[in-house]
Structure 1
Amino acid sequence: MPIRLISNAVLFQVGWFACVLGGTSWWLLIPLAALVIHFIWVTSWAAEGKLVVSVALAGAALDSFLLQVGVFDFATTDTLAPLWLVMLWALLGTTLNHCLAWSAKPIWLAAILGAVGGPMAYFAGSSLAEVKLLLGPANTVWILAPIWALTMPLLHGFARLYREQFRLVQAARRR
């Protein structure tokens, strides 16, 4: 496995733990550093900046919605997803063209990964970050699994769209 894929996965995991364990504190410097390292060493802002921002915004909207309808309770906010969770979404955006690229084709792999991995990440994070799953574990799985089964393919769609846009821009610049 190429070193860039491994480093991408490690940066994501280190950032994930810093976000979940540190919440909205100086620990957020760790995922911020992971994002900077990703853009300097693994890829470039030009190649993936739009993707990372789009994933962070989409994730913030989704988790804010789930907060508002009573799926989650964050100790620090009752209106919008907390900053540490938005950072997690940004970190997820860095994986779509790299260590999670395998799940893009066929697209059903992304749906399965989302249906299983999405709820698992929330359960792990909820116990470490003191996030309450207000509907209980079973009901939360029934809500999150289909949402994530749709979300991962959608995020891979963003990645594919932005990769194609980047290729077209690069090709136009070479002419």
Structure 2
Amino acid sequence: MLDLKLLANAGMFQLGWFACVLGGNSLWLLLPAGVLLVNGLWISARWTEVRLIIYVCLLGTLVDSLLLNAGVFEFRQEGILIPFWLMLLWALLATTLNHCLAWTARPAWRAVLLGAVGGPLSYYAGQRLGAVQFGFGL
């Protein structure tokens, strides 16, 4: 049976992904902020979800900022941290982990495989849409 909340969760993530990647640091970021708000209203275990969002956002920001400073990523704006829109994108990803992507948690190889394939594909799509460039001639 199709769970409409899971479908809505996946759809809202995709909507937020496109708003972040195509909108950059603009008013388009109100859309993914709204997605985070709606997600918060739907979830009964709000504090558990908020902690997960903070953890994933901080970890993603740290790793991507290290990659930025190592020259793997190049963005339009200068700085030692990734752009705000990418931080917001990490927060959006966190909203899917216990919901539409919960099926990847067990066995763990599913999450590893999805991250190993989906992560680079997401960055590749972002590069094709002009949101990020790859350093080192990648």
The one-letter code of the counterpart of 1:68 is N
Q: C-alpha distance in 2, partners of 1:34/1:129?
A: 23
From the two aligned structures, give the one with the greater helix fraction: 1
Larger mean CA deviation between 111-120 and 34-43 belongs to: 34-43
Q: What's the CA shift string for 1:15-37, capped at 9, x where partnerless?
A: 00000000001010000000000
> Any residues of structure 2 matched to 1:89-128 within 5 Å, and which?
89-128=90-129
Aligned to 2:34: 33
Count of residue pairs the alignment pairs up: 137
Q: C-alpha distance in 2, partners of 1:7/1:129?
A: 27
Q: Which runs of 4+ in 1 moved over 4 A?
A: none
Q: What's the CA shift string for 1:76-100, capped at 9, x where partnerless?
A: 1231110000000000000000001
> Any residues of structure 2 matched to 1:21-60 within 5 Å, and which?
21-60=22-61
Q: C-alpha distance in 2, partners of 1:74/1:44?
A: 35
Cα RMSD (Å): 1.2
TM-score by length of 2: 0.94
Report the identity percentage.
50
Q: C-alpha distance in 2, partners of 1:105/1:136?
A: 37
The one-letter code of the counterpart of 1:90 is A
CA shift, 1:130, in A, is 3.4
Name the SS of the counterpart of 2:50 in structure 1: helix
Q: C-alpha distance in 2, partners of 1:43/1:122?
A: 32
Aligned to 1:76: 77
CA shift, 1:42, in A, is 4.3
Provide structure 1 residue ranges, at least 5 long, that are not aligned to the other structure: 138-175
Provide structure 2 residue ranges, at least 5 long, that are not aligned to the other structure: none
Name the SS of the counterpart of 1:129 in structure 2: coil
The one-letter code of the counterpart of 2:129 is L
Q: What's the CA shift string for 1:28-61, capped at 9, x where partnerless?
A: 0000000000111244532300000111111110
Instruction: Say whether 1:64 aligns with 2:65.
Output: yes
Relative to structure 1, the CA distance from residue 23 to residue 107 in structure 2 (aligned partners, 3 Å threshold; closer, same or farther) is same
The one-letter code of the counterpart of 1:13 is Q
CA shift, 1:107, in A, is 0.1
Q: C-alpha distance in 2, partners of 1:95/1:122?
A: 18
Q: C-alpha distance in 1, partners of 2:56/2:131?
A: 24
Larger CA Rg, structure 1 vs 2? 1
Name the SS of the counterpart of 2:80 in structure 1: coil
**Is the Cα contact below 8 Å between 2:29 and 2:85 reproduced in 1?**
yes
